[in-house]
């Protein structure tokens, strides 16, 4: 297995275990990779302030990827290298679609999370994962005229989730990049945004060739990134779409899959 110059890691389901924890073993392995001269880039769908505590623990000074690639930002200097929102018109159309169908959706703007009702169980569930507090707007939420960085629909009922996902991809085709996660989320960003494009820009900034990049992931929003990287590593817990494109399958996130591979690279 060739030692890469850059390692990109998804967060939820990859870097973090099923309890949303960064284990000591995985943290140490990535510290050792950085000490060995390998750049470590976090590539997550999470918002910047939600991901930042974990990014800081890794000690990386490389640009990292947030909101599925809608923002590329340095976690040390806080400099933003790239930012692309959905646009006010698309934001408004997503709000209209979800309101008309009585579906739950939340929006991200200026590194804050906005919802109708922060007491909603779907909001509470997301808050428990992200460790972020939502800003409730009440019915004004549906008229929130901003250029959203990202929007996220949540449905716990499988039939509702299926209908929501189909309508989102059908009615907003070409206007959003949509990815499913957690078995109940549909994440929406600008169609020009994904983790692969963001990772390519980071690698270019750092002067690192595609073949010298290794990317780890588990969810559908990681597929393009694993395909783009010189070496794509799927976690043992990854969805079928990601497993199908991987060059290597690591142990699961609960079995320190990243650490197992990185430790082998550094031997």
Exposure string over 13-51, b if 16+ CB within 10 A, otherwise e: bbbbbeeeebbeebbebbbebbeeebbbbbbbbbbbebb
Q: Which residue is catalytic, options 10, 218, 222, 256?
A: 10
Give CA angle at 215 (175, 110), nearest 5°.
Answer: 45
d(CA 124, CA 122): 5
Could you confirm whether 10 is annotated as catalytic?
Answer: yes
Angle at which helix 257-265 crosses helix 24-35, to 10 degrees, equals 30
Beta carbons of 47 and 111 less than 8 angstroms apart: yes
- Tell me which residues are annotated as active site: 10
């Amino acid at each position: 297995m060739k030692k890469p110059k850059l390692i990109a890691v998804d967060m939820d389901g990859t870097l973090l275990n099923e309890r949303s924890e960064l284990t000591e073993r995985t943290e140490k392995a990535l510290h050792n990779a950085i000490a060995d001269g390998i750049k470590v880039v976090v590539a997550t769908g999470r918002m910047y302030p939600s991901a930042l505590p974990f990014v800081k623990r890794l000690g990386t000074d490389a640009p990292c990827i947030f909101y599925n690639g809608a923002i590329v930002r340095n976690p040390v200097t806080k400099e933003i290298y790239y930012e692309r929102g959905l646009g006010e018109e698309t934001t408004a159309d997503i709000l209209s679609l979800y309101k008309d169908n009585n579906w739950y959706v939340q929006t991200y703007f200026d590194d804050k999370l906005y919802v109708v009702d922060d007491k909603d169980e779907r909001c509470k569930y997301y808050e428990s994962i992200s460790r972020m507090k939502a800003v409730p707007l009440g019915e004004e939420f549906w008229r929130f005229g901003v250029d959203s960085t990202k929007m996220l629909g949540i449905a716990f009922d499988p039939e509702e989730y299926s209908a929501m996902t189909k309508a989102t991809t059908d009615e907003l085709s070409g206007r959003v990049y949509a990815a499913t996660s957690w078995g109940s989320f549909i994440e929406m960003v600008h169609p020009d945004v994904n983790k692969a494009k963001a990772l390519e820009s980071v690698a270019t900034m750092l002067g690192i060739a595609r073949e010298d990049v290794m990317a780890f992931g588990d969810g559908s929003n990681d597929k393009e990134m694993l395909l783009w990287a010189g070496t794509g590593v799927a976690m043992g817990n990854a969805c079928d779409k990601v497993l199908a494109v991987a060059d290597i399958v690591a142990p699961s996130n609960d079995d320190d899959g990243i650490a197992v591979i990185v430790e082998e690279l550094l031997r």
